[in-house]
Amino acid sequence: MAVAEQTTSPLPADELERVPTVIADDVHIVYRVYGGRSKGNATAALRRIIRRESSARVREVHAVRGVTFTAYRGEAIGLIGSNGSGKSTLLRAIAGLLPTERGKVYTDGQPSLLGVNAALMNDLTGERNVVLGGLAMGMSREQIKERYQGIVDFSGINDKGDFISLPMRTYSSGMAARLRFSIAAAKDHDVLMIDEALATGDKKFQRRSEARIRELRKEAGTVFLVSHNNKSIRSTCDRVLWLEKGELVMDGPTEEVMKAYEEETGK
């Protein structure tokens, strides 16, 4: 967005009705990676520590460079761009999970990422993982008890026998992915962010999860979707942000941006 003349004139009527839920103001995100460039030997490393120099083994990756946008209530926004363009990183910063180097993200309520994978433990039964995952997302014990059956039914884990009482490491990769999605999708969110969650499980489960995401969209204020599947972006989003090398290339209505993106990528 061009920096408009800084007038203090009364707001356009349009802006009064539209409630912003996420505002990203010139967001920069830098990752520090240890052991990226291993040059030199132990004595060199020791010398650096003694002289308090910043280690040459710490490499900085500037993943997002100055992204600015405002998302409003009721919007579904797609994020597109090639691998490593900073889409997932940007989502994490919006969720407040990654600190920004410069710039600020303002949000209404607590945006959350759809995903509990990291909190689940393969050695535990599916049953215990449902409870653990729910608690990790901030649900209360009562809420989990209420929704437990729904989660299990939705995942379809028990369709082929009593699998929910077996450790998760015994599940097939598809079954585990289905259970993870079911747990993650059981919670209501103000601002929901989905990172490539639609490609989970078999055809039947994919249809079910797309329907669940549409439901979540209705309940949530704003939805962000990262996907490489142009079809699912087109069917779920009304606005698209195109990121490339951490910079915002284009921000506009889905069809317009997708056309430009497809021309660029030659699809």
Partner 1 sequence: MSETTRASAPPRAVPLAELAARHGLSVSGARPSLPAYVRQLWARRHFITAFSRAKLAAQYSQAKLGQLWQVATPLLNALVYFLIFGVILEARGGMSTGDYIPFLVAGVFVFTFTQSSVMSGVKSISGNLGMVRALHFPRASLPIAFSLQQLQQLLYSMIVLAAITIGFGHYPTWTWLLIFPALLLQFVFNAGLAMIFARLGSHTPDMAQLMPFVLRTWMYASGVLFPLRAMIEDNDTVPLWAADVLEANPAAVYMDLIRYAMIDTPQYSGVPGLTWAYALGWALVIGIGGFVYFWKAEERYGRG
Q: Which of residues 32-71 bind partner 1 (CB under 8 A)?
A: 32, 34, 66, 68, 70
Q: Tell me the C-alpha to C-alpha distance, in Å, between residue 49 and each of 31, 32, 54, 183, 207.
A: 21, 17, 8, 45, 55
Of residues 151-210, which lie at the interface with partner 1 (CB under 8 A)?
167
**Helices 173-184 and 141-155: angle between axes, nearest 10 degrees:** 140
**Do 220 and 231 touch, CB atoms closer than 8 A?**
no
The nearer residue to partner 1, 101 or 210, going by C-beta atoms, is 101
Pairwise CA distance, residues 209 & 194, whole Å: 12
Min dist CB 70 to partner 1, Å, is: 7
78 phi, psi to nearest 5 deg: -95, 145
Q: Which stretch binds partner 1 (CB under 8 A): 79-87, 110-118, 175-183, 226-234?
A: 110-118
The nearer residue to partner 1, 126 or 156, going by C-beta atoms, is 126
Q: Does 263 bind partner 1 (CB under 8 A)?
A: no
Query: How many amino acids of this chain bind partner 1 (CB under 8 A)?
Result: 71
Residue from 136, 196, 212, 229 that binds partner 1 (CB under 8 A)? 136
Q: Does 118 bind partner 1 (CB under 8 A)?
A: yes
At residue 62, the 3 state secondary structure works out as: strand
Q: Does 138 bind partner 1 (CB under 8 A)?
A: yes
Pairwise CA distance, residues 231 & 238, whole Å: 13
Spatial neighbors of 41 by CB under 8 A, at least 6 apart, are none
Min dist CB 156 to partner 1, Å, is: 24
Pairwise CA distance, residues 264 & 17, whole Å: 35
* DSSP-assigned beta bridge partners for residue 25: 104
Q: Which stretch binds partner 1 (CB under 8 A): 14-22, 153-161, 197-205, 217-225?
A: 14-22
Residue from 99, 218, 263, 266 that binds partner 1 (CB under 8 A)? 99
Q: Does 76 bind partner 1 (CB under 8 A)?
A: no
